[in-house]
C-alpha cells in the first residue's frame, strides 16, 4: 500500500500543475526528439536517440511519481477555524534557539513540499521530528551532529 501524503492545497495544486506540464509539454517534446533521431537511421550509435530515451525515462518516471503522490494525497484542512495546540503537518511554528537566542519560523509540511530555503521543513527531518507533537513552551533537544535546544514560542495554522 502506498504511503499517505498530507499536502497543503497549494502543494497539491503545484503537483497537479507540474503533472499537466509534463504530460502536455514535455512528453510531446521527447516524442518528437525520438521520432527525429529514429529518422537519422542506425540507432546503435545515435547519441541523440540515447539522450531522448534518457529524457523519456526521466519524464515518465516523474509522471508516475506525481500520479502516485496525488492518488494517495490527503489535503490538509484550512486551519483558520481551528485551535492549534500541537505542532503537526500543516502548522507554522516559531521557536527560539536557546544557545544563540535566534528566533526561527518554519512551516511543517510533508517531504514532497519541503523547501528549507523557503522555511518549509519536512516532518521527518531531525528538526521536524523534534517539533511534531510538541506544544508552546516545550524545550526540545534537536538531535543532530551538534545537538541544540529550542523552545517553542508560537504555533499557528498554515
Query: Which three three-digit cell numbers place residue 8?
Result: 497543503
Sort strands 73-75 and 148-157 into parallel, antiparallel or unpaired.
Answer: unpaired
Query: Is the CB of residue 118 less than 8 Å from the CB of residue 125?
Result: no
CATH number of 5-75: 1.10.287.180
* CATH ID of 79-157, from 3.20.20.140, 1.20.20.10, 3.10.50.30, 3.40.50.300: 3.10.50.30
Neighbours of 139 (CB within 10 A): 12
Q: What is the pLDDT of residue 80?
A: 60
Q: Residue 1 above 60 pLDDT?
A: no
Neighbours of 115 (CB within 10 A): 11
Q: What is the pLDDT of residue 10?
A: 87
Average pLDDT, the chain: 90
Helix (H) or strand (E) holding 148: strand 148-157
Q: What is the pLDDT of residue 56?
A: 93
Q: What is the pTM of this model?
A: 0.77
Q: What does 15-62 look like in DSSP terms, one character per residue?
A: HHHHHHHIIIIIHHHHHHHHHHHHHTS-STT-HHHHHHHHHHHHHHHH
Residue extents of the structural domains in the chain: 5-75, 79-157
Rounded Cα–Cα distance for residues 114 and 128 (Å) = 11
Dump pLDDT digits (tens) for 64-115. 999 999 999 999 876 666 678 999 999 999 999 999 999 999 999 999 999 9
Amino acid at each position: 500500500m502506498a504511503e499517505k501524503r498530507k499536502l497543503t492545497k497549494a502543494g497539491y495544486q503545484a503537483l497537479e500543475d507540474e503533472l499537466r506540464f509534463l504530460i502536455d509539454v514535455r512528453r510531446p517534446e521527447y516524442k518528437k526528439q525520438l521520432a527525429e533521431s529514429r529518422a537519422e537511421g542506425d540507432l546503435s550509435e545515435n547519441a541523440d536517440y540515447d539522450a531522448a530515451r534518457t529524457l523519456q525515462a526521466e519524464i515518465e518516471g516523474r509522471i508516475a511519481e506525481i500520479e502516485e503522490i496525488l492518488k494517495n494525497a490527503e489535503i490538509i484542512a484550512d486551519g483558520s477555524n481551528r485551535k492549534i495546540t500541537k505542532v503537526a503537518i500543516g502548522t507554522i511554528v516559531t521557536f527560539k534557539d536557546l544557545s544563540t537566542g535566534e528566533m526561527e519560523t518554519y512551516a511543517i509540511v510533508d517531504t514532497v513540499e519541503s523547501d528549507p530555503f523557503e522555511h518549509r521543513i519536512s516532518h521527518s527531518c531531525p528538526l521536524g521530528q523534534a517539533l511534531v507533537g510538541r506544544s508552546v513552551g516545550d524545550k526540545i533537544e534537536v538531535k543532530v551532529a551538534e545537538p541544540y535546544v529550542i523552545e517553542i514560542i508560537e504555533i499557528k495554522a498554515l
